[in-house]
Amino acid sequence: MIDNFMDIEEALERLAVPDDITEFNKACSPSPDPESIERIKHRTIQMVQAEMNKPKRNRLKLWHVTAAAVAAILLLILGIGPNNVAAAVNRLLLYIPGFGIHTSQNVNLVAPNPVRAEKDGVKIDINGVLADSKGTSLMAYVEGEIPDIKSSYLVDLSGTRYPYQSGMMSTAGNFQNYWAWYKALPANVKQAALVIPSLSNWTIDIPLTTTTGLDTADNFGPSVTVNNVTVSAQSLSFPDETKVTLLVQSLRGGVLQSIKDAALVDTDGKAYPLNHQAAGYVGNGLMYYSTSPNIGDKLKVTISSLNLLQDVHASTSIPVPKKNSPLSLNQSFILGTWNLKLTKAEVVSQNNKDWLRIYVAPDFVDGAIINGMINQLSVNGKPVDAAMSEFDESTGGIKWLQIPYPTGEKSIKVTVENIDILVNGPWKLEIPVKPGFN
């Protein structure tokens, strides 16, 4: 059904596998329940088949690695048994700079280390390069004059050019994160250069290698696991700043959206600002931060909570109340591990418009709760663009959601496909500060 691991990644990029962490842990125990293993196998195969039957969406080629890797590990664990899990994970997964946790299969070349270049007040950090048979992806962070990446290209030592194919940029003031997709580099190329014509043909050399010798996933840096989410950290020192990179891996499915209230102190307890510098693409689990230079050889990072985007699919029918006649509800959305109970529906008027407000009672599961936003909401099969929601500041959980009032309907079918999950910590890490890259 699926020929290789990259096809598995593509098929499972939106899946939250395992979707029941309790059952997953039970299956990985020294004496796993065969019935639990069969249920997980059956559910995973069903999810794969359903995903393969969906039409492909128009999107940039991004590796949503975290969910796919967890799914692949799950299949491996169920096939080889829990005693060999650690060895199997080390064989399968690598840390590829700029791309997070990845497999070595079908990856031809990578940049083994980030590259920093500065010229005429412009600073570029090339956080990662990854090439397979389909193309070459480059992740970078820019301070200063914003380059025209559409005219940029890669060139190897023989002078062969690999033109820009597509990409995306996000700009905030004088800072820019960009991802660019170039024609595929051959597997025998040992060095390439990024050429930016819009900056006087600025040429930045990028050493390349195969995945052999890259750090395995567990060697990224110090790590701690809380509520089935593992956070690892690295820190690099430069003359003008100290960079901190955080890597988030979720065993509960979902992909990292944001990190809340990250704090940084040195070994003497002195606090330093931790400025969010850049993020990778959605799915690689990486967040980059910058702080003051020359702050010692060890740092302590604390994270209070973080947000994950969880792919789910659930529907329920809801009676439509009349104005001034609220209805009690006794339905639920079964959203993966979460049971989102619906308690009441009423009509509210805002901005000269009537809305159907649905009150909910989310539950905590392993220190996590459904947060204030439900994405990809549809009513009777039609997407709802104007949906709103509110969350409880004391718990972080969603309080209610509302949609335009469905005039003339006695009941509606509401479908949810994506939810935001708030996972509580804290995660506390002590990380060494190493010399920065050139």
Is the model more confident about 214 or about 244?
244
Which of 137, 232, 120, 241 shows the shortest CA–CA distance to 185?
A: 137
Mean pLDDT for all residues in the chain: 76
Q: Which of 80-94, 222-236, 275-289, 401-415 has the lowest mean pLDDT?
A: 80-94
Instruction: Please say if the pLDDT value at position 139 is more than 70.
Output: yes
- The top-scoring range by mean pLDDT among 83-87, 208-212, 426-430 is 426-430
The model's confidence at residue 164, banded by pLDDT at 50, 70 and 90, is very high
What average pLDDT does range 238-264 have in this prediction? 85
Chosen CATH of 109-207 out of 3.50.50.60, 2.60.40.10, 3.40.50.2300, 2.60.40.1640: 2.60.40.1640
Q: Kindly report the backbone phi and psi dihedral angles of residue 230, in degrees, each rounded to the nearest multiple of 5, phi listed first.
A: -105, 130
pLDDT attached to residue 258: 85
Task: Say which residues have a Cβ less than 8 Å from residue 55's Cβ, sequence separation at least 6.
Answer: none
Q: Quickly state the pLDDT bin for 17 (edges 50, 70, 90).
A: very low
Per-residue confidence at 92, pLDDT binned at 50, 70, 90? low
CATH number of 233-308+425-435: 2.60.40.10
Instruction: Find tokens 């060895």 and name the residue.
Output: 87
Find the range with the poorest average confidence among 59-73, 118-132, 385-399. 59-73
62 versus 351: the higher-pLDDT residue is 351
Q: What's residue 390's pLDDT?
A: 83
Our measurement of the distance from residue 10's CA atom to the centroid of its chain's CA atoms, rounded to an integer in Å, reads 15
pLDDT at 48 exceeding the cut of 60: no
Q: Are 388 and 401 in contact (CB under 8 A)?
A: yes
